[in-house]
Amino acid sequence: MRIAFGISYKGQNFHGWQKQTQAGILSIQSVLEKALYNFTKEHISIYVAGRTDARVHALEQIIHFDTNCIREEFSWVRGTNSWINRLGYKDINVLWAKTVNQDFHARFNAISRTYHYALYVSPTPPVCFKGLTGYLMHPHRILNTENMQKAASYLVGQHDFSSFRASICQAKSPIKTMYDISIQQKHPWYIFTIKGNAFLHHMVRNIMGCLIKIGTDKEPAIWMKEVLEAKNRIKAAPTFMPDGLYLAKIEYPEGVDLPYIKPEFPWNI
């Protein structure tokens, strides 16, 4: 049977989602597959909706896997979480489990992905949120939100996002569709919500680098349009830090009936 999980994790102690071939490099996938092996005694391969980078978090990531093991849905949650904890990992949690059709695929059936980026703007860093938020040292704590929102509007729609693509990106095409980018200001926090059909490697963090450059009045809003149209990574700002980035929600077509637990997010989106 095919099982889907909703999972959450704090990413600061992991080298991203994808398991690595090098020994000693810890990933979210490797921990989950080890926990599932201990629970089922099967070697299970996991498929994920969206791979996250090192130190990036997930409020609700979606995975699926095939298994011959028969368990109640609540047992999948309790049993997998129990083994995650017994293996010594406290930063990964299964939220729910659901038996799905054999044609369900966590990645290929997804129609949108939403990310939040939590940014703390202050003369001093937020020590209580270390690893959980991006930080920008700014003496006045104020960014030009109006210009950032105007700049973000140039990215909405279907575009070639090569200017925001990491050199190691393995995506077949740089053309993606951006549905919405919104910015909420709650001093000293700025919360960016970015929704698209799919994302390139480092795409959100590269967009964040450009938005911050505009928000600090180092570039005008129209510069974002120029960067986008250049289709050249060197025209954009440096990749911004991963700490404040959260994969928040994966959406599927109507008829794919998955549970949804509104995730806890400290900044009340």
Catalytic residue numbers, as ranges: 53
Per-residue DSSP letter, 205: H
Angle between the N-to-C axes of helices 203-215 and 222-230, in degrees from 0 to 180, rounded to the nearest 10: 150
Which tokens belong to 45?
A: 């391969």
Task: Report the relative pairing of strands 112-122 and 189-196 from DSSP bridges.
Answer: antiparallel
Query: Is omega for the bond preceding 188 within 30 degrees of 0, making it cis?
Result: yes
Query: Is omega for the bond preceding 126 within 30 degrees of 0, making it cis?
Result: no
Give residue 261's region: left, alpha or beta (phi > 0; psi -120 to 50): beta
Those residues with Cβ within 8 angstroms of residue 233's Cβ, 6 or more apart along the chain or in another chain:
162, 163, 164, 165, 166, 167, 206
- Rounded Cα distance between 120 and 123, Å, is 10
Instruction: Report residue 4 CA to chain centroid gap.
Output: 18
Query: H or E segment at 38?
Result: helix 28-40
Residue labelled with tokens 């071939």: 21
